Chains A and B, each alone.
Chain A
Amino acid sequence: MRIHSLRSRLGLAFVLGALAALPSLFAQQSGSVAMLKKADALVTFPNSDFSAEYTFVQETPGQGRSTKQAMVFRRDSENTYLIVMLYPIEDKGKGYLKSGNNLWFYDPVSRRFTFTSAKDRFQNMNARNSDFTRSNLAGDYRVVGRSREQLGQYDCTVLDLEAKTNDITFPKMKIWISEDGLPRKTEDFSFSGQHVRTSAFPVYQKVGDHFVPQTVVIVDELKGAVINGVFEKERTIYTISRPSLARLPDATFTKAWLEKLSE
């Protein structure tokens, strides 16, 4: 009888404790979502177009470096982008056109457009085609964990995210957001929880009221080679230069324009 009474009291205390914690949990959850929304807003351009020159350096351990250049044109309000390769010469004129959920790859040699996937590697590097689209962290993911962590000079909030739908390339993600609201690092995981890649955004440049990373480092957690007894991971570093928010002609985001560029 005494034991039963003790159990009842403990149970009641647990329920009351949980109820008391709920507002705090809700507040934390909504605070986390707000952080994601802020991060999205800072790096997305809903009211203007965006264009910039991207320089990619691919570092493959044991095989050296290779460099590629591309012009990226984004219209986030329409969820579209166009990328045209500038360098190396053999890739010049190749391009990508994203329109809604469709993504085409254009090859100027065959003069043909082929469907490609957002989750595919961009130009066989560690960046993915989906990395060039507008940020929609708050829409794509729900927050399942939150902690604090010092990341170099940045005091960050670390959010554990899980995709809301099953069409997100990386179904699990960990994101470090600094106090200024900008994402500083992400770790992408497969559905079963395998760490697949890490991205770092150490420095941003201000463009209008928004921010664009100056340099992005993407480390492939699964690819690399043992060099002098140490496992070195494959990585892609890309720098974004000459960012502009100038209005682009509507024709920019068309197949015809991509074809014309490669002529």
Chain B
Amino acid sequence: MTTILIAYRNFVRNGRRFVLLGLAIAGGFFVVTALQSLIAGVTSQINIRGARFYGGSVMILGYQKNPGLAKIGDEGPVLKAIENSGVRPEIVARRVLYGNDGVVFFNGDSVRMRRVIGMDWSVEGPEIRKMEFIAGDPNGMSDPHGILISDVTAKRTGARVGDQVTLQVTRDGGAIDTGTFIVKAIFREASIFGYYTVYVDRGQLNLLLGRPAGEEDMIGLYLRDYRQADEVAARVLTAMSALMPVFPPLHNQSELDSARSAPYQGFRYGTLTTMGFMSEIKTMIDALTLVSYAILALLFVVIVAGIVNLYRVIIYERTKELGTMRAVGMQRAQVRNLILVEAFFLAVCSIAFGLALSLGVLEILSLFRLNAVAGFDIFLDRGHLSWVMNLDTLGFDAALIALVTLLGAWSPARSAQAIEPVVALSAE
């Protein structure tokens, strides 16, 4: 305890000696923390919004070889497999997804949809409601004739909340069908998830496509923590393999395409995560994460070199002081610990300062609306920069920096403990 108090007193009194190195550590920690928080924010945004777009963090996909349809068929065994897997998703969503052939007409204008989503509002409503709505009340989707359109579609067709729009699709056989829907709300979404997406009632979409009302193309699992998606996908697949024919584990769209084109009879099932559908984005996020760790590694080098040099100077300057301490009875180990505790204080203060700087800068950045920047909207939460500070990542980084600081101080501390009081006191 005495050692800690003395170290604290030394650290406070000789603070100026530590300022430069402290600022370097704080700056490095700020950069790493801010970058990782932004990456976590982007990852979170993409996963959450991707889940709304794809129908869950984990998708259970079924394919019928002939005539080559995405179709779950008998959902009983699939639901049983989910139960058997021990996974407890927040929402089990059934969806019908209609590709890039749907057209929304209003008042003579038309917009071709990239995706027409048939969903059950009573089930997915709580999740879909979290989207950014710029007009209307999404709860109106409890009306099966309701439709949610994007702000881009609304702008291009001139449709407003309460207007009746026509949705044209092609039935499974090839015949054109149309249905009229009332715009219940208009949402704003990033380009890849929303510009050309509409949400309608699953039963109504099935009716338009000439399918039984209760049919679904896929079953999606919304999870409390999207980071568990890979594990959940693997567990559900294992459980499904006991009940039905399954594809090998799928990690991305191209693996899914290969699995589908392989010869098989009847139905095959598989699981894929949201990020599996967005492997390009995942690659980009992985690259950014690597960059953040490269910066962290560089920071370690700076810390070690800085600490070693700083303490060599400090110990040279404090030779007499340390000799006196030894002369009045301080043990060698206590001298070593004194230096290490001082270094620890340096690490803690620098980390705290770097963290405060990160929080401040990220908070200020997130005040600005950035959705005017083309192509940037995918990373934003309602137009603002999104960041997430994961405590586990933060704690890991902080612990590593503290450890590296102590490692850097170790050698000078060993030199300090070797100082002989007589030699030290006689030194000029």
Q: Which residues of A contact B (CB under 8 A)?
A: 61, 117-119, 163, 165-171, 190-192, 194, 196, 222-226, 231, 233-234
List 10 tightest A-B contacts by C-beta distance, closest first: A166-B173, A224-B108, A191-B177, A167-B174, A190-B178, A194-B178, A171-B175, A222-B105, A167-B173, A190-B176
Q: How far is the CA of A192 from the CA of B208 in the complex (A)?
A: 8
The reply to whether A166 and B108 contact each other, CB–CB distance below 8 Å, is no
| CB nearest neighbor in B for A222 | B105
Asked if A191 contacts B109 (CB within 8 A), the reply is no
Secondary structure class of chain A's binding surface, majority of residues: loop
Q: Does B176 lie within 8 Å of A169, measured CB to CB? A: yes
User: Across the interface, which residues of B come within 8 angstroms of A231, CB to CB?
Assistant: 107-108
Complexed CA–CA distance, A61 and B109 (Å) = 10
Q: Evaluate contact between B108 and A169: CB separation under 8 angstroms.
A: no
A119 to B174, Cβ gap below 8 A? yes
Q: How far is the CA of A17 from the CA of B179 in the complex (A)?
A: 40
Kindly state the separation between the CA atoms of A256 and B109 in the bound complex, as whole angstroms: 39
- B166 close to A (CB within 8 Å): yes
- Contact of B175 (CB < 8 Å), options: A117, A163, A222, A225: A163
**Complex Cα distance A163/B39, Å?**
55
Query: Which residues of chain B have C-beta atoms less than 8 A from A224's C-beta?
Result: 108
State whether B110 touches A166 (Cβ < 8 A): no
Q: Which residue of A lies closest to B103 (CB)?
A: A222
Give the residues from 233 to 268 in chain B that come closer than 8 angstroms, CB to CB, to chain A: none
Bound CA–CA A190/B209 (angstroms):
12
In the complex, the answer to whether A61 meets B108 with C-beta atoms within 8 Å is: yes
Determine if A191 and B175 form an interchain contact, defined as CB atoms under 8 angstroms apart: yes
A170 neighbours in B (Cβ, 8 Å): 175-176
A233 to B109 CA separation, bound complex (whole angstroms): 10
A79 to B210 Cα, complex, angstroms: 28
B166 & A225 in contact (Cβ 8 Å cutoff): no
A166 and B171 in contact, given A222-B105, A222-B166, A223-B110 (Cβ under 8 angstroms): yes
- B164-198 near A? 1/0 per residue, CB < 8 Å: 00101011111111111000000000000000000
Task: Name 9 extra pairs, CB < 8 A, besides A163-B175, A190-B177.
Answer: A167-B173, A167-B174, A169-B175, A171-B176, A191-B177, A191-B208, A196-B176, A222-B178, A225-B109
Q: How far is the CA of A188 from the CA of B110 in the complex (A)?
A: 18
Complex: chain B residue closest to A168, CB-CB: B175
Q: Kindly provide the distance from the CB of A204 to the nearest chain B CB, expressed in whole angstroms.
A: 27
Q: A190 and B168 in contact (CB under 8 A), knowing A167-B175, A170-B176?
A: yes
Of A165, A169, A171, most buried by chain B (CB within 10 Å of CB) is: A171
Which residues on the A side are within 8 Å of B110 (C-beta)? 222-223
Q: Report how far A128 CA is from B173 CA in the complex, Å.
A: 17
